[in-house]
Structure 1
Amino acid sequence: MLRWVLVLNLAALALGSMCPMEEHQICNGDSFEHKCVCAMTREESAPPEVSCNQLIDRDENGNFPVVSVTLKIDDSSEGREEWPEEDFVNKIASALRVDDEDVLVLRASCEGTDDTLVVQFAILKKDANSSDLPYDEDDFVDAISIAQRMKSMSHLAKIPDIPVESIEATEELVDIEFDSENSKLVYQAIGAGVFCIVSSILAIIVACRSKDYSDDLQKA
């Protein structure tokens, strides 16, 4: 019995997960003009693309109006090694009746957690000129109106199949850089601790049952 418990626990720890992220994240990968790094880990390797910050004209505080969607990673999302950007963009574009290429993803970050994914994006206007980067606020549809429309759509309770915790308009971009190594160590420690506790409890139960069985034999 204990052997199977050990196998199941090790298998659960080995499953891939989109959070926490362990590598730099590339967003808008199908667009030559908009392909950029939307989340960075503090690793030694250089980012493979320009930062998404280079696509927008942020203010002096680093802010820019976006729609921020917080997704709750649950059991149905386990096993995913990457967040489903293409499906996410497709569902947003379909709901808002815009082209996929008009959805500009600027952030996709777990912020060091294992159960939350924050995606921040903006919708380009039809007359926005991609050859004139960085974009300014006037190149995008108003983020507040976009967020309000999305909140009223019941079919956006999951995007694409991940539960939505919140949708809001904000000017505060999440940090593009996070420390995946520390987060990874924390969650590994928690997992190991839970495994040890469960194993200890099961070992005690098995030992008690063995003792009771031995006592019964002696009485017989």
Structure 2
Amino acid sequence: MIEAFEAPAYLETLLLVLDLCGVFFFAVSGSLLAARRQFDIIGSVFLAFLAGLGGGVVRDIIIDEGVPNAFANPLYLIPPAVAAALVYFRLITQGRLRRTLLVFDAAGLALFCVTGTQTALAAGITPVMAILLGVSTAVVGGLLRDVVANEVPEIFNPQGLYAVPALFGSGLSSLLWVLGVFTWLTAALVMLAVFAFRLVSLRRRWWAPGAAHGWRS
């Protein structure tokens, strides 16, 4: 582990706000999936917490700087609870829950690939490993959500790129940090780019090469 970067105070606040927003977006996707699968309110709350907090908990455990933020900071409990309530009272819904779910999932992916990378860099993780940790932060919550709900995880869905946009966002975020130009503005631009990348890949059904060259079902 290299010496930790000294992040400006405003960046620490920015990362907290973005992290909480990412938790909310992923939590909404979890509750929407619970609604689509006709789970009860307990299942909705569980999936909201699992999707919203899973990636961050894994990130913090790997960094090993004490109790994960999700358990140390009570603020992290608010977004999943709010998300479950909004879905329960049908304040976030539409006829095709799948489309709404994917939009919120893409938003969470965009935020978490940036906050995961920046949190790792601030803890002294090398830039390359911080990129991998950023990708893990972005995809683990959705992976856990889908596995628990007995869905094919989005990361394995051939119709639309998932890990690739996260890798793009994490790599760009790490590069901006190393160059000393990571600000709220550049962070927002990266997240918007990842969000758009993910949605366009879904609309146009972009896909990554198969596990075996020349084979595709």
Q: TM-score, normalised by structure 1?
A: 0.24
Higher-Rg member (1/2): 1
- The answer to which structure has the higher helix fraction is 2
- The answer to which structure has the higher strand fraction is 1
Q: TM-score, normalised by structure 2?
A: 0.24
